[in-house]
């Protein structure tokens, strides 16, 4: 029988769960005054790509043990947790992974979330490989937008990076299908790794200029502990902006909302904009309002966290909706993470949860 006051919510610690009456006293904020606005939910730890910076094939090989199906949150459990987060202020939900379109019935999950949370901004990040097949159904189910990852337009470079021999053209088809279905404006994310695809930065910008889609350039990050991250491999966003600006003049644009992750740069000739995400060279921990739920239902308060809080056990242990919300509330109030601000030469070697499991 579960102790109602102290519920084990992590392998390594227990947290006192405040009574429901203790919640709602003032807006929810963590120890640094950051609200809980965004939730990323990883719906599968599997992916059909083996991107060298995310799921390197040497580690994620044929012997790699992915989560057994019973460990994954069910759609009903995902909706319950999403509702609890929404009750505490979450207005944006992003489905991710692994590759979220590999999760069977993903359209049904989108429909369930849409029905439960009609006003929430509901988005999904995908590698685009199955987007052409899914775009219309995702839109019909109530998805607002998609973000598509594409690391190069050069065939050989892209295939080398996804390490699954996947062609560029299929991802571009997925992007066009999503746009046609009304899932735009589409953001196209390129992780820039020095000496691997940085020669493609200007081509990527050129390709999406004037298309209505927004190319975004992400600094290669030290997420997880399998991608062999080195600072030398990072191309600072300032360099990306300079390279694009030399060819197509840019001016800084205002953030769309406080705490926006990407810095926006607009083409001075009116042909749209690009974004840069500078987690390494310009940490944005101070405004980070993002929570993450891993595929197996652990709650992480930082992308670079070493451990999470086991919400699945709470859900499966019979916790009420109120107890769930109280647990999330208590965890968020104790949050103090600011990994990117305090990154040192040593921290990238610390064991951290893998991106495919926690969700990008």
Binding residues (CB under 6 A) for ligand SAM: these are 47, 53-54, 96-97, 99, 125-127, 149, 189, 191, 218, 220-221, 223, 227, 355-356, 360
Residue 221 structure tokens? 């990050």
Q: Which is nearer to ligand SAM, 113 or 303 (CB)?
A: 303
The 8-class DSSP code of residue 65 comes to -
User: Which lies closer to ligand SAM via its Cβ, residue 87 or residue 219?
Assistant: 219
Q: How far is the CB of 134 from ligand SAM (least distance, A)?
A: 13
Whose Cβ is closer to ligand SAM: residue 90's or residue 96's? 96
Q: Which is nearer to ligand SAM, 121 or 321 (CB)?
A: 121
Nearer to ligand SAM by Cβ, of 235 and 323: the residue is 235
DSSP track, 38-58: EEEEE--S--S---TTTS-TT
Measured CA to CA in angstroms, residue 349 lies from 213, 226, 231, 236, 344 at distances of 36, 9, 12, 20, 10
Least distance between ligand SAM and beta carbon 161 (Å): 9
Whole-number minimum distance, CB 218 to ligand SAM, in Å? 5
Least spacing, CB of residue 178 vs ligand SAM, in Å: 13
Closest approach, Cβ 54 to ligand SAM, in A, equals 4
Residue 16 Cα to chain centre, angstroms: 29
* CB of 110 vs ligand SAM, minimal distance in Å: 15
| Torsion angles phi and psi, residue 277, rounded to 5 | -120, 115
CB of 124 to ligand SAM, least distance (A): 8
Shortest Cβ distance from residue 66 to ligand SAM (Å)?
A: 14
Quote the CA–CA distance of 84 and 345 in Å, as a whole number: 38
* 347-283-198 Cα angle (round to 5): 85
The tally of CA atoms less than 13 A away on the side-chain side of residue 100 is: 31
Q: Which long-range contacts (CB under 8 A, 24 or more apart) does 332-336 make?
A: 332/28, 332/29, 332/30, 332/36, 332/88, 332/291, 332/301, 333/28, 333/29, 333/30, 333/31, 334/15, 334/30, 334/31, 335/30, 335/31, 335/32, 335/34, 335/301, 335/302, 336/30, 336/31, 336/32
Closest residue to ligand SAM, based on beta-carbon distance: 360
- Strands ordered across the beta sheet of 290-293: 250-252, 263-267, 273-277, 214-219, 187-192, 145-149, 121-126, 92-96, 38-42, 290-293, 298-300, 309-310
Nearer to ligand SAM, 53 or 60 (CB): 53
Nearer to ligand SAM, 314 or 359 (CB): 359
Dihedral pair phi/psi, residue 303, rounded to 5°: -60, -25
Residue 137 to residue 129: CA distance in whole angstroms: 15
DSSP letter, residue 121: E
Q: How far is the CB of 345 from ligand SAM (least distance, A)?
A: 17
Nearer Cβ to ligand SAM, position 45 or 273?
45
Nearer to ligand SAM, 32 or 230 (CB): 230
């Amino acid at each position: 029988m579960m102790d109602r006051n102290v519920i084990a919510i992590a392998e390594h610690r227990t947290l006192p769960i405040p009574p429901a009456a203790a919640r709602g006293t003032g807006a929810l904020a963590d120890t640094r005054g950051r609200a809980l606005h965004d939730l990323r939910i990883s719906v599968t730890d599997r992916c059909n790509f083996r991107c060298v910076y995310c799921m390197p094939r040497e580690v994620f090989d044929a012997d790699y043990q992915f989560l057994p199906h019973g460990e994954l949150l069910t759609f009903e459990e995902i909706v319950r947790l999403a509702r609890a987060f929404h009750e505490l202020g979450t207005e944006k939900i992003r489905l991710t992974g692994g590759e979220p379109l590999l999760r069977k019935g993903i359209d049904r999950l989108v429909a369930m979330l849409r029905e439960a949370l009609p006003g929430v901004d509901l988005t999904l990040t995908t590698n685009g490989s199955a987007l052409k097949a899914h775009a219309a159904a995702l839109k019909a189910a109530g998805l607002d937008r998609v973000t598509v990852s594409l690391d190069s337009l050069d065939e050989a470079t892209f295939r080398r990076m996804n390490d699954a021999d996947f062609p560029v053209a299929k991802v571009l088809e997925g992007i066009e299908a999503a746009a046609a279905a009304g899932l735009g404006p589409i953001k196209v994310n390129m992780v820039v790794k020095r000496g691997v695809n940085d020669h493609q930065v200007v081509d990527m910008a050129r390709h999406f200029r004037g298309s209505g889609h927004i190319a975004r350039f992400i600094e290669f990050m030290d997420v997880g502990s399998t991608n062999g991250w080195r600072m030398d491999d990072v191309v600072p966003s300032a360099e990306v902006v300079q390279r694009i600006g030399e060819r197509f003049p840019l001016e800084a644009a205002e953030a769309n909302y406080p705490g926006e992750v990407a810095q926006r740069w607009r083409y001075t000739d009116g042909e749209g904009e690009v974004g840069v995400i500078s987690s390494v060279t310009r940490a944005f921990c101070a405004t980070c309002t993002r929570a993450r739920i891993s595929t197996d239902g652990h709650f992480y308060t930082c992308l670079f966290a070493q451990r999470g809080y086991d919400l699945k056990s709470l859900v499966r242990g019979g916790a009420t909706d109120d107890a769930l919300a109280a647990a999330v509330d208590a965890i968020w109030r104790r949050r103090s993470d600011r990994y990117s601000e305090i990154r040192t030469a040593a921290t990238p070697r610390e064991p951290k949860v893998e991106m495919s499991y926690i969700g990008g």
